[in-house]
Amino acid sequence: MAAVAENFEKTLYAPEILPGFRGRELTQKTLRLRSGIPSLDAELGGGLVRGRINEIIGRIGRGRTSLAAAFLARATVRGEVAAWIDFAGAFDPMSIGAAGVDLTRVLWIGCAGPRAIKEREREKIFLKAAELVIETGGFGLMVCDFGPRSFPLMSSAALRIARRAERTGTVVLMLAERRMCGTFAALTLNLIRGEARFTRPARFAPMLFDGLAIEACVARNKLGGAGFTAAFKARVDPDADDASGVPRPSWAVSHAS
Amino acid sequence: MGRIACILIPDLPIAALLRSNPELRERPVALCANPAPHAEVIAISREALAAGVRVPMTAAQARAIAPDILIVRRSPEAERSAFEALLDVSESISPLVEPGMPDRAWLDFDGLARLYNHSEAIDPDRPASESGAEAAIANELKRRAHRVGLETTVGVGASKEIAYLAARCGGVRVIDHGREREFLDWIPIEMLDLAGKPGGDLELVLARWGIRRLGDLARLDPRAVASRLGTEGLELIRLARGERLAPFVPRRRTESIGETVELEYGIENLEPLTFLIRPLLERAIERLAIRGLVAGDLTLDFGLADRSRDQRRVTVASATNEIRALLTLITLSIEATPPAAAVEAIALGVEARSPRPAQAGLFTPPTPAPGRLETTLARLAALCGPDQVGMLRAQDSWRPEAVHLMPFDAPPSFTADAEPSPGGNVTRLMIRAIRPAEEVEVMCDRGAPEFVRGRSIAARVVTLAGPWRRDGEWWNGAGGGFARDYYDLALSDGAVYRAYRDRRTHRWFVDGIYD
């Protein structure tokens, strides 16, 4: 009987099984969401911590959407439901779907609708939408894409999101140019380099866009381990043979997937 | 022998008015067909009766007797809403309901005592006899009617007629099996409302014969009465003896809830209009809630001051009973297309939908509970707009900007057989869409882009790939289709953009940033 109970306990607290119970197990550091990029997961201690706010910061063009899509793909493949709150209306279902994300499990919420509303009003809507989603419970991942917005959230708003995330066990992922949640973020990943790579498959052949070489630095980690850097690539055609170095053109990849 | 219950609204015109305007409950009120001083009073409230007003005085006479009396025009729409609410209440208790226009409904009570035996509606202190259980269910019926703003009386008996007469006695009255004659014997003839029926002098004839109660009538010889009073007399005797006359015929209604209000004045502003729609919505939601249903799409039918109508449909992304979210959707719809004239009547229709049940697994990742998710979706749609919430999918098209929004309906959770193995330190590159595509000015050298300048971009081209030519949708007819040359442009600001040149207009656009 004791052995059965021990097995049951082990199963519940296994890192990759999110239990349906509320309480201390929801905020355990062992519950992580992986990106599927080994170098990054190793630096993060296994992935993003559940029930906490995580930030990916860096200028647009340095690969923060690609990194968020990697986490999103991993979450939906595991059978979780995710939400993407889109401040700038930049969600591209074609490329996100090509990344292996199950779009039927992603709730998209746009805040850049046709209604003529002020920027400040849109921010309020964005935050309210985030609170509503996280309050619902059952979402494994909530991505808040702030677009080019560069000034931080009010402490009260960040605190509300942090508390609700802790209660529901949702991974909150903020994509922004700068840090948004201050002390309430458990992890801040700074994309310090996103270098564009072009290749020419043969002499006189047309140039092809290969992708970005990205370096991510753990700028803040409440759970320990800040200052590390992980390097990885975001490629237009990740399935291209590295030896031949011939990627497919960008248009062909997105439509073939 | 079956058991039938009758739920009755004692004074429907007044009850419907007080339901629409609860603030009038303590005031003397009289209803007239029109507001003219010589119009006859049709119905009066209890307060008006206490003040000495009687039917059928004229409005002027009523005002002379009770100066503070409020004369209101009768509203058939409000009466219809009240009747619909009565049917909803009935269907929340029994699956078999027969509507009896205009103020009553009959319910099949057969076997309900067993269904409700363990519910909280039954008082455990009462004897467990069937009539005790029936009285408890009847009380529950009356309580639910009160929840939707109706004061009712309930009677239970062996037939529709006995149940109706029991309801006419007021409160809740259950006529036990075998005691029907005892009950009918003391019923006064006036209670049968013979004056309003064809052959209205029947009551007078019976009074002349000295027959005051049904018991007196039951003792007469049917053949002798039939020869003097005809078929009506024979039916009266059968009723007085407790014999079943009309069969119980239950009918199913369409799954739509309607609430209506007619105004004495026109409303031109949004705020007072919303103020009036809110109680309609609350009553409709309450009617749905007692039947365990949730609200789907809404329909609004405004009667306007210029005698025209403004009909609109408000799509609810996800069924919910959240009043605030539904009201916001209505407000957004009215804001987007205001009525052409002042609103004088409001008819609100609510489509009834069943809430979705769900079964979660212990070892599968948790997913949002369907009920909570639907409420959240409705609130999000009200917050961001219905076209901003859902599942965004790419269309089957070669145009990258071709996307469409589908309703979000979270699929059930599952446990993945195995985690996908990491494939090296590589992930797929995403693109951030720019919607709508930003028009830019591109300076070219021998056909190759050299410099890009636009509203948010001004940078030199460092490296480029392309062009990739795309033509399509020309088969859609004249003027349709597109012809574009796409480029991947690495600019000196450090980002890589996806730009295209429209080969028909020779204009340049940027429609995405690789990120």
Q: Which CATH architecture describes the domain B4-174?
A: 3-Layer(aba) Sandwich (3.40)
B482: left (phi over 0), alpha (psi -120 to 50) or beta: beta
- The Cα B45–Cα B53 span in angstroms is 9
Contacts 24+ apart (CB under 8 A), B471-478: B472/B397, B472/B398, B472/B399, B473/B397, B473/B398, B473/B399
Residue of B nearest to A145 (CA): B432
Residues 6+ apart with CB under 8 A from B331: B270, B274
Cβ neighbours of B390 in A, within 8 Å: 107-108
Torsions phi, psi for B9 (to 5 deg): -95, 110
Structure tokens at A178: 């700068």
- Whether residues A78 and B427 touch (CB distance < 8 A) is answered with no
Query: Could you tell me what percent of chain A has a pLDDT over 90?
Result: 32
| Beta-bridge partner residues of A209 | A198
- The Cα B177–Cα B113 span in angstroms is 14
B447: left (phi over 0), alpha (psi -120 to 50) or beta: left
- Whether residues A255 and B398 touch (CB distance < 8 A) is answered with yes
- Whether residues A234 and B427 touch (CB distance < 8 A) is answered with yes
Q: Which of A81, A87, A128, A167 to mutate to test the interface with B (most CBs of B within 10 A)?
A: A81
Torsions phi, psi for B32 (to 5 deg): -130, 160
- The Cα B55–Cα A40 span in angstroms is 85
Give the residue from B333, B3, B409 showing the smallest Cα distance to B178. Answer: B3
- Point out the residue among B376, B429, B496 whose CB comes nearest to the CB of A136: B376
Question: A143 in helix, strand or coil?
Answer: strand
DSSP state of B347: E
Residue B196 vs residue A18, higher pLDDT = B196
| Beta-bridge partner residues of A54 | A173, A187
Q: What is the pLDDT of residue B152?
A: 93
Structure tokens at A78: 């595991």
Torsions phi, psi for B7 (to 5 deg): -110, 130
DSSP state of B490: E
Torsions phi, psi for B459 (to 5 deg): -155, 160
Domain borders along chain B are 4-174, 180-240, 256-353, 431-514
- Whether residues B433 and A236 touch (CB distance < 8 A) is answered with no
The alpha-carbon radius of gyration of chain B (Å, integer) is: 34
Q: What is the pLDDT of residue A244?
A: 52
Direct distance between the N- and C-terminal alpha carbons of chain A, in angstroms, rounded to an integer: 50
Cβ neighbours of A95 in B, within 8 Å: 428-431
Give whole-number Cα distances, B144 to B5, B25, B85, B139, B140, in Å.
15, 19, 10, 9, 6
- Whether residues B384 and A110 touch (CB distance < 8 A) is answered with yes
Residues 6+ apart with CB under 8 A from A224: A45
Structure tokens at B257: 């809830």
Neighbours of B443 (CB within 10 A): 12
**Whether residue A230 has pLDDT greater than 80:** yes
Cβ neighbours of A132 in B, within 8 Å: 376, 379-380, 383
- The Cα A150–Cα A158 span in angstroms is 15
Tell me how close the Cα of A222 comes to any Cα of chain B, in angstroms: 25
Q: Within chain B, which residues score under 70 in pLDDT? A: 1, 117-131, 195-200, 244-245, 252-254, 356-360, 371, 413-423, 478
Structure tokens at A194: 């996103």
- Whether residues A59 and B494 touch (CB distance < 8 A) is answered with yes
> Which amino acid is present at A70?
A
Spatial contact of A220 and A49, defined as CB atoms under 8 Å apart: no
- Whether residues B463 and A207 touch (CB distance < 8 A) is answered with yes
Neighbours of B308 (CB within 10 A): 11
Pairing state between β B448-453 and B431-445? antiparallel
Among A134-148, A178-192, B398-412, which stretch is predicted with the lowest mean pLDDT? Answer: B398-412
Strand order in the sheet with B294-304: B256-267, B343-353, B294-304, B309-314
Dihedral sign (CA A122, A126, A127, A133): positive
Angle (deg, nearest 10), helices B323-336 and B370-384: 30
* Helical (H) or strand (E) element with A37: none
Tell me how close the Cα of B460 comes to any Cα of chain A, in angstroms: 15
Average pLDDT over residues A173-177: 94
Structure tokens at B157: 């008996």
| Beta-bridge partner residues of B4 | B108, B157
Cα dihedral B295, B297, B298, B301 in deg (nearest 10): -150
A2: left (phi over 0), alpha (psi -120 to 50) or beta: alpha
Cβ neighbours of B398 in A, within 8 Å: 255
Residues 6+ apart with CB under 8 A from A171: A33, A48, A49, A50, A51, A52, A54, A71, A75, A140, A141, A142, A165
- Whether residues B384 and A113 touch (CB distance < 8 A) is answered with yes
| Homologous superfamily assigned to A31-193+216-230 | P-loop containing nucleotide triphosphate hydrolases (3.40.50.300)
pTM for this entry = 0.64
- The Cα B178–Cα B158 span in angstroms is 9
Pairing state between β B153-157 and B482-491? unpaired
| Beta-bridge partner residues of B156 | B5, B174
Cβ neighbours of A212 in B, within 8 Å: 429, 496, 514
B359-384: per-residue pLDDT in tens?
A: 667 777 788 877 678 778 888 888 88
Give the residue from B408, B492, B423 showing the smallest Cα distance to A104. Answer: B408
Residue of A nearest to B432 (CA): A90
A92-106: per-residue pLDDT in tens?
A: 998 998 888 889 899
- The Cα A56–Cα A144 span in angstroms is 10
Size of interface A-B (CB pairs under 8 A): 248
Domain borders along chain A are 31-193+216-230
- The Cα A57–Cα A217 span in angstroms is 10
Instruction: Please report the beta strands in B97-170, taking only residues with DSSP state E, as ranges in sequence order.
Output: 97-100, 104-108, 153-157
Cβ neighbours of B428 in A, within 8 Å: 66, 69-70, 95, 98-100, 234-236, 238
- Point out the residue among B383, B398, B486 whose CB comes nearest to the CB of A129: B383
- Whether residues A94 and B514 touch (CB distance < 8 A) is answered with no
Cβ neighbours of A251 in B, within 8 Å: 468, 470, 486
B256-353 CATH fold: Dna Ligase; domain 1 (3.30.1490)
**Whether residue A26 has pLDDT greater than 80:** no
Structure tokens at B100: 């009896």
- Whether residues A34 and B419 touch (CB distance < 8 A) is answered with yes
**Whether residue A15 has pLDDT greater than 50:** no
Residue of B nearest to A42 (CA): B425
Neighbours of B96 (CB within 10 A): 18
B180-240 CATH fold: DNA polymerase; domain 1 (1.10.150)
Structure tokens at B255: 């799954």
- Point out the residue among B388, B423, B490 whose CB comes nearest to the CB of A113: B388
